[in-house]
Every structure is written in structure tokens, then in C-alpha cells.
Chains A and B, each alone.
Chain A
Amino acid sequence: MPKGRKDPAYRKRIGYHAGLLAGMALIVSALLALGNQQTKADIELRLEEDMRASLAMVIPHELYDNDLLSDAAIIVTDDSEEKLVYIARMNNQAIAVAFKIIEQGYAGPIQIMMGISRDGNILGARVISHMETPGLGDKIEVKKNDWILKFDGHSLENTSSTQWAVKKDGGKFDQFSGATITPRTVVKAISKGLILFRDKIKPEIVMKNTTEE
């Protein structure tokens, strides 16, 4: 811009300001729409891969021969919340399910993916996302600590309802030094998931997808 250049008179008008702002907003919105269109398919693909990866962690892949992602059913929980349940089948028999549970932790919601076999045993549970304190509560991540693996094989049958708690509360599961709320939340979430399986998912999904022969 040459120094001392004077703005033309039309730039002083309020109409020019408004038009400029509107024009810029239009251009930016158009670019965003274009970018969104270009990346949408890829982002969905990535999210699908993520979902596949977290499903693979909670149901061992040798147990089933179907495509989990395309084989899901919706159940309505008691709080009239819709929940997506992925069904693992072997020879068309439902042998396990996987679903997400969300429970309020210390600093925000904790999302857990859990896999349950048809007889109600936990095949695996993983924390997908959380906002717990780094260094204290984040030991629920499998990357940081193997604590979450200790749930494998537990069920409502082999662990009584009073045992579904952290040791501090008289239960079966360890808490971490310095963090009680986070592990307490995870234990509660997982036991809730098991109850949901027993009351809703098993009768509504597993039984309907197996032929009693």
C-alpha cells in the first residue's frame, strides 16, 4: 500500500462496511462448506476405523466372523436413551455384544466401550475418552496402567453387587492412590453396563439373534 494513499470516498459509506463484512462472511462460509464436503468422507472413515479399533479391543476378533460395525441394533434404556449395541456373531449365532457407556467422572464424562459375552462375562472394557486428572485419574487408560484389564472375566454372577465397588468402599477393585472418584465411576459404569446387559440386551438382542437348536 503506497504511503499516504487516500481511501476512495465510497469506502467511508456504511454500506461498504456492511457489504465487505457480508462478502467476507460469504466467502469464508463457502470455503468452509467446500472443506467440509472434501473432508467429510475421510473423517467418517477415520471415525469408523477408530470405532473398529476400540471394538477390536473389547471383543477378541477370533470369536466372530461378521462385520461388527454394520451389525448393530438399537435398544432403549430405562432412562429412555437410545443405545447402539454391536453384535458379534459366529455362524449367525450372537455370541457377544459391545456397547458404549458414559458416566460422569471427576472432571467430565468418561466413555467406556465394553464387550460382554452371551453368558454375561466381561470380555474387555476400555476407556475411550475421559477428562480425568493427568497423572492421577488417567490410570484408567490402558496405555498408562493395566488396571482396566482386571475387569475381564467378571460378571454379575461371579461378583456380587457389594463387590462391584472399589476396595475403599468394601468392593473387589483397587482404587489408585490419590484418586478414588475416577475408579469408583468406572466400576459403577461397568456394573451398570452388566445390569443393562442382563435386563435389556440379553433378552432383547442376544436371545432374538440365536436359534435354539
Chain B
Amino acid sequence: MAASVILEPCHKATDDTTDNAAASVIASLCSVTKKFGPQIALDRLSLELRQGEVVALLGPNGAGKTTAVRLLLGLSEATSGEVSIFGGNPRDRASRLRLGAMLQVGRMPETLRVREHLQLFSSYYVHPRPLDELLAVAGLEGLQERLFGTLSGGQKQRVLFALALCGDPDLICLDEPTLGMDVEARRAMWEQVSRLAARGKTILLTTHYLEEADALASRIIVIQKGKVIAEGTPKELKAADSSRTIRCTTSLQPSFVSALPGVTSVQQDGNTMLVRTPAPETVLRTMLERDPALSGLEVRAAALDDAFLALTNQTTAVTR
């Protein structure tokens, strides 16, 4: 199976916005190791962001997603390896002027109005986006005079999103951007992210919602234990997981089905049976022979969740 782990030579991020824009690398982590004392958070990890891409960083908790984002933002320094943004150091003001970040913030000053928060952040940049535009993009119209402390959780998230966009940045890092949002607000934000990408902006997002990565990302990077274990488009990652799920109602015993050659797992859910196998045809032939009354048959390809689980479980098994 194995989604291909793409090992590329490290390119230094170049500030090349004029020609060949689609392929130019604007930010990169090159063989970066980050240690916290004896604990290794990132292990010679390399990744590249190219202009106009929406890249989703996926991985179980503690995989190193946030560490990677913090290194890219210059909030933390690599133990070894190289971090480069627009051909420079992320801590340079010139880099930060082209960078926007939405981080996970527990609380922020509650006695400032939405408008005032945006005004202050906008004043940090040379060419800020107009206030009206920011309010529209983040869906904050009509809320500009509200004190931050009086907003709902989802509205607060949207203010953080607007703060990331204040400087009209070329690279936008979003750490769990839709956490605490309802479905409608989440879809509205997805649309804005797609629009930013269409304007040539590069977006890096970390998320727990696989649906979000599937809907938004042009490329997904799966990290586990500080290493990239897979990288590709959502379609490629799904294809890499070649197993199918058979769903049916049958009188066959789960123990019998799980003993059939090629079956990876069997799950009994009421009178519905879920069988995972890379060879659905062979398995089904036997099942139909043994149970002519088998009904409600459905065979589906792996969803991104399955691909993700298969990837992370597999490497866990290998490292044991």
C-alpha cells in the first residue's frame, strides 16, 4: 500500500513572485530537528510551501504539527536544520510583513472593540487591507463596535482570522482555524480560504477535521512522531489506501469472515457487518456462496479518515 513518501532535495525558499509563480517555493523547513530536552518533537523534517497552495498539516496529537508551524513563524528556533521564508529568516521584519498567523489563543484583551483590535494590527503593516474588506472577509460586518469580550466563540475565532489577514499577507498560517465554529461558519471560512488561494496566497493549515483538509487542501502532509510519513493530494492519499469497505446484512459469523484470506478487519454493528479488505471481489464471492440471503450490499472506497488511520496505524506498527 504505502502512500509514497516524497523525498525531495531541499530547495531554499526563494523570493520569486514574478515568473514561474506556480512552482516557486516561498517557505521551507529543511531537515529540521527540534528537541525539547531529551524529547524529539521534529526529526529531520522537511517540507516546502509553494505559492498559491493550500497545504494541510495532518497528524495525531503530539505529532509535531504546532511545533512545525511555530518554527515557520519564527516563534521557536530549530535545534538543527534550516527554516526559510521568502528567502529569509522568519524573525526578520521583512518576512513578518508578508506573513499572517492565526494561532490558538485562549484569551485576548476583552475590553477592546473588534474595530480597535483590527486597527492596531493593521498599523503594524505597511500596506494593510482596508477595514471594511477585513470585516467582510471574516464575516464580522455589524460587529465592529462590539467589545471583544461580548463575542461568541465562533465570532472570536473570526476576529483572529481577520487579524491574520490585516497585512494582506502572502503566506497565511492557520492553526486549527475552525475550532469551535458551527457548520455554517466553518463553510464560510472554507470559502474565504479558497478565495485567498485563488488570489495567489499560500495557506498552511493544521486541522483535526479530515473533512476540512479534504475540502480545502491542494496538498496534505501527514506527520507522525516528528516525521513526514506521507504527502500528496487528498485524492492520492485516498488512492494509496487500496482497501475497500464491504457493508452488508448477513447471517455469517464475524469469526468466520475475519478468517477469510485478505480480510483486514470485521466489525459487527447491529445486524450490519463492515468488512475491510484490499480484495473485495474474492471475499465477496465466498460470502455470497455461503450466505445466499446476504442483502443490503455496499462496497465503498476508503474515505480520507480511513487513509489517515491506515497511515498512522501502519507506522505505529512499524516503529514498535
The answer to whether A and B come from one shared complex is: no
Binding site for B on A (CB under 8 A): none
Contacts from B to A (Cβ < 8 Å): none
